[in-house]
Amino acid sequence: MQIHRRQFEIIQEHAIGEHPYECCGLMAGYRRANRKGETETVVCEIAPCTNVLYSGREHGFEISYSEYVDVEREARSMGLEIVGSYHSHIDSAAVPSNNDINFARPGHSMLIIALEHRIPAGVTSWLRRDVGGFHQEPIRVEEAGKG
């Protein structure tokens, strides 16, 4: 996954701002084939969303269908698609929970930012392939003005 520094900072700021609850949001961009012919996700825009989980927001999240549809419409108006979601983990590792694995959509990336004592402590991204399971993918943060 490729993401610009500013978008990466928005995710970090959102995670810290929602502490002690998990933050969540959607990522818009596009997918392309890299030199090895593998699919690579490029994140262009971040859409912070409301965690609508009724209880247990300290260790779970839910994005409403209506907010998802709104973000999808806005992304398409910019020529982009929703390429995945992000959320935070509070004082636990940046590893997908069983609920996370169920939430992940085929072809989408899931970025997880772990906070320890309110400080970002690790970031991972996971890609559910259209065929062939759920795998960790590298994250490349692009500095401003590049890519």
The CA dihedral of 47, 16, 86, 5, to the nearest 10 degrees, is 70
User: How many residues line the site for Zn ion (CB under 5 A)?
Assistant: 2
Is 97 a binding residue for Zn ion by CB under 5 A? The answer is: yes
Is 18 a binding residue for Zn ion by CB under 5 A? The answer is: no
The answer to whether the Cα torsion of 68, 70, 109, 116 is positive or negative is negative
Is 100 a binding residue for Zn ion by CB under 5 A? The answer is: yes
Nearer to Zn ion, 42 or 111 (CB): 111
Considering the complex, what minimum distance in angstroms separates the CB of residue 88 from Zn ion? 8
Is 92 a binding residue for Zn ion by CB under 5 A? The answer is: no
Residue nearest to Zn ion (CB): 100
Considering the complex, what minimum distance in angstroms separates the CB of residue 5 from Zn ion? 24
Which residue ranges make up the site for Zn ion (CB under 5 A)? Answer: 97, 100
